[in-house]
Amino acid sequence: MIQLEGVNKHFGHLHVLKDINLTVKSGEKLVVIGPSGSGKSTLIRCMNLLEKPSSGKVTVDGVDITAHKALVAKVRQSVAMVFQQFNLYPHKTVLENLTLAPMLIKKVPQAEAVKAGLAYLDRVGLKEKANVYPSQLSGGQQQRVAIARALAMRPKIMLFDEPTSALDPEMIQEVLDVMVDLAHEGITMVVVTHEMGFAKTVADRVIFMDDGQIVEENSPQRFFENPTHERTKSFLSRILR
């Protein structure tokens, strides 16, 4: 579904991704963990080309999106992203946030888009907030709306870039619940997170990144119980206290 081959990314003198090779299978739930600055956000942002790799090839759903003149916007329609800072459209109501892209990009008729939008809002438990503006919602509610907005495009792949890192602790669980619920479906998920509990329960595979490289990858069980690499061990001992 997603394939990265020899991907490098430089920001000026910083070498943020170092020759990354990674394949995400259809329906797989992949969790990416690692210390801040390890390149995990850059990695996930290469998967929808919000970051353009300095070299290497990224293939998504059979399309080489790093190719010259690739139809990136077309591919992005089926690759939804949920951001750390939510990035809801503040000038639109909650429901309009969900219907904007389906109506304008996929040309879904308004009545149909509204119906689907309300259904997705219901799913994240926020149907009654359809007509308020994002600024009137709590952080947790905003992120649930952002997930519903992502779902409204009926994506094949969902990318989560630290979706709970900007939330107050008491709001993290409500967002994780929605994500766990999603994971029970066939959708392909790549999740950058510090939530180890989520990784343990949901992931098919966990990769640990440090210093721009994938240091270790394994099933969550073996990853957490039997980490092989020194850097993984020290990271886990710091985070799992």
Partner 1 sequence: MVGPFAWFKWEALFRDWTVFAEGFKTTIMVAVLSLALALILGIVFGVLGTSQWKLAKLVSRVYVEFIQNTPLVIQVYFLYHGLPHMDVMIPVFAVGVLGVGVYHGAYIAEVVRAGIDSIHKGQMEAALSQGFSFWGAMRHVILPQASRIVLPPLTNQAVNLIKNTSVLAMVAGGDLMYRADSWSSDNLYYGPAYVAIGLLYLLLCLPLATLTRRLEGKTGVSS
List contacts with partner 1 (CB under 8 A).
48, 50, 73-74, 76-77, 79-81, 83, 85, 87-91, 100-101, 104-105, 149, 153
| Residue 236: CB minimum distance to partner 1, A | 30
| Residue 115: CB minimum distance to partner 1, A | 19
| Residue 215: CB minimum distance to partner 1, A | 28
| Residue 62: CB minimum distance to partner 1, A | 17
Residue 151 CA: distances (Å) to CA of 30, 39, 40, 124, 144: 18, 26, 23, 10, 11
Residue 186 CA: distances (Å) to CA of 85, 138, 155, 158, 172: 26, 29, 11, 11, 23
Question: Closer CB to partner 1, residue 112 or residue 170?
Answer: 112
Q: Are 63 and 47 in contact (CB under 8 A)?
A: no
Question: Closer CB to partner 1, residue 83 or residue 208?
Answer: 83
Question: Closer CB to partner 1, residue 130 or residue 153?
Answer: 153
| Residue 85: CB minimum distance to partner 1, A | 5
Question: Closer CB to partner 1, residue 153 or residue 199?
Answer: 153
Question: Closer CB to partner 1, residue 20 or residue 81?
Answer: 81
